[in-house]
Structure 1
């Protein structure tokens, strides 16, 4: 029995070390879990702060109206151009769904008390949409407020004005995907119409977004008109379709696009209510979620397919030539 004592002591010592190490490992694991939770909480808090800040900045903006009487439109426009710089005019006109070429059409302009060239301070779209957190890129075009919005992983990165299809040639609603793009396309309606930075979203109907006149109301032949700077940005930002060899069949879709809502044809333009209520143009988070949910599974499925196609392509390109 005495000869067994050293062995027992050794086993006891090893067990003590093991138990001590386990306790340390549990403490470390607990610390790591605590750090991970803390980091996640910090990220969530930072995102919440970012959204809150955007909402606070937006809530601080107030608007006034400038009226352009028919019999004094030239003098009123002259006063407008004298009061604001070219950059400020561009921002104000964009907010009123106009470009400089069509500024003469203005009868009333909503003027913000703060000029933000990015337009983000006036965004009618939610700053963050959690439903889209797994969607890499998403485009919305709203008929009611004649505006587009771009999201990356559920975060609004850009929005701006548009002119969509007129009443007799309305833009198709629903989910579509970016197909091909061309830096300068020619309209199939009229060969004299040049369409810079064209991105097709419905190949058979010939619908796409591109730069063209913004007259302050839906005026296109079903396409989605944009300001030149916006058209160029979207052209470089969007992902287009991937075709099989020979280009005969579709292999993967491009960036998802949803066109939604209806315009108040013949009614007062929504952005003209801003002086009465700075939130009058807003699209709520609930509304956006209702628009997304019927299409979310399809969007994620197409996104996964695209990633697999790109992964397979990259693997094939790395293979040595036979």
Structure 2
């Protein structure tokens, strides 16, 4: 056996150890296919992106068309009612801007492959709007897609179908405020029209939202028609105005309401494009920001008035 001095041995050992550490470091820093090193932050980001992708894929909605041939409409309707449960029919009709009473008007229906009674997985409105993060409540009505949305502090709370004013009696666009409400109002256009859960938003023009027929297109006399469940929900959720003693003047306005956009009069109904593109009705946050920004200062001013009045009333009630 060769005689190896301790100095030579330790020198060789140190050299081998150094090569091993260097090789391991190079291995840990090996580039990804994109040429970037992997670290804990990028790994976490990748995992988060993967989870988001999986969630989106899981909730991805596809639509098919259900046809109602004119010569066989009754038999086709029987097939429709037998194939889908009452809850599923409600969802399908709502997505097609119809109520049960008016389902006979349909020539085709867009049918989702997943069913959610809350309708939230089909929402065409963004889940969050940072521009509204300080706004306690707001209602948005879209003319283009005939739908409404409720936001609380920038978070989407609820959305659903509507039928706004027909072409010859269009609903006023822009910012309005919830005023007074009445559980059962009578239309000023026709006394035979009963309007459950009516909530006025323009006192002089007599515009309000309420439950009434949804025929699958804008059909009202400028009011904002809703399904009964939605009208009842908004009736309880929105805030009314506050009047001075004797009702001579408005002290504070109620919940802000914005009606925006235009309908494709005479064209293909927007929800009929869902089969080709499930996101075709979606409204971007950027588009809504532009609309809301025009009215944000007024919205915040009126909100502050409501908060100040509430604080004054609470102080008076406590006897301070």
Same fold (TM over 0.5): yes
Cα-to-partner distance string for 1:153-211 (whole Å, 9 max, x where unaligned)? 00001000000000000000000000000000000001110000000000000000000
Give the TM-score taking structure 2 as reference length. 0.82
Q: Which residue of 2 aligns with 1:254?
A: 254
How far is the alpha carbon of 1:317 from its aligned partner? 2.2
Q: Which runs of 5+ in 2 are unaligned?
A: 1-44
Q: Which residue of 1 aligns with 2:161?
A: 161
The 1:91–1:307 alpha-carbon spacing in structure 2 relative to 1, beyond 3 Å, is: same
Is 2:239 aligned against 1:229?
no
Structure 1 moving runs of 4+ over 3 Å: 52-55
Distance in 2, matches of 1:283 and 1:270, equals 12
How far is the alpha carbon of 1:60 from its aligned partner? 1.0
**Higher helix proportion:** 1
The 1:263–1:58 alpha-carbon spacing in structure 2 relative to 1, beyond 3 Å, is: farther
3-state DSSP of counterpart to 1:268 = coil
Q: After superposition, where does 1:21-100 map in structure 2 within 5 Å?
A: 56=56, 60-100=60-100
Distance in 2, matches of 1:193 and 1:164, equals 16
Is 2:178 aligned against 1:182?
no
The 1:54–1:110 alpha-carbon spacing in structure 2 relative to 1, beyond 3 Å, is: farther
How far is the alpha carbon of 1:319 from its aligned partner? 2.3
3-state DSSP of counterpart to 2:279 = coil
How far is the alpha carbon of 1:112 from its aligned partner? 0.3
Instruction: Say if 1:172 and 1:259, in contact at 8 Å, map to a contact too.
Output: yes
Give the TM-score taking structure 1 as reference length. 0.82
Is 2:218 aligned against 1:203?
no
The 1:57–1:123 alpha-carbon spacing in structure 2 relative to 1, beyond 3 Å, is: farther
How far is the alpha carbon of 1:57 from its aligned partner? 6.5
Cα-to-partner distance string for 1:47-106 (whole Å, 9 max, x where unaligned)? x99xx6898268511110111111111111111111001111011000100000000000
Distance in 2, matches of 1:299 and 1:188, equals 29
How far is the alpha carbon of 1:318 from its aligned partner? 2.3
Q: Which residue of 2 aligns with 1:318?
A: 318
Q: Which residue of 1 aligns with 2:135?
A: 135
Name the Cα RMSD after superposition: 1.8
The 1:303–1:57 alpha-carbon spacing in structure 2 relative to 1, beyond 3 Å, is: farther
Q: Which residue of 2 aligns with 1:194?
A: 194
Distance in 1, matches of 2:158 and 2:58, equals 14
The 1:314–1:168 alpha-carbon spacing in structure 2 relative to 1, beyond 3 Å, is: same
Number of equivalent positions: 272
How far is the alpha carbon of 1:303 from its aligned partner? 0.3
3-state DSSP of counterpart to 1:246 = helix
Instruction: Say if 1:54 and 1:121, in contact at 8 Å, map to a contact too.
Output: no
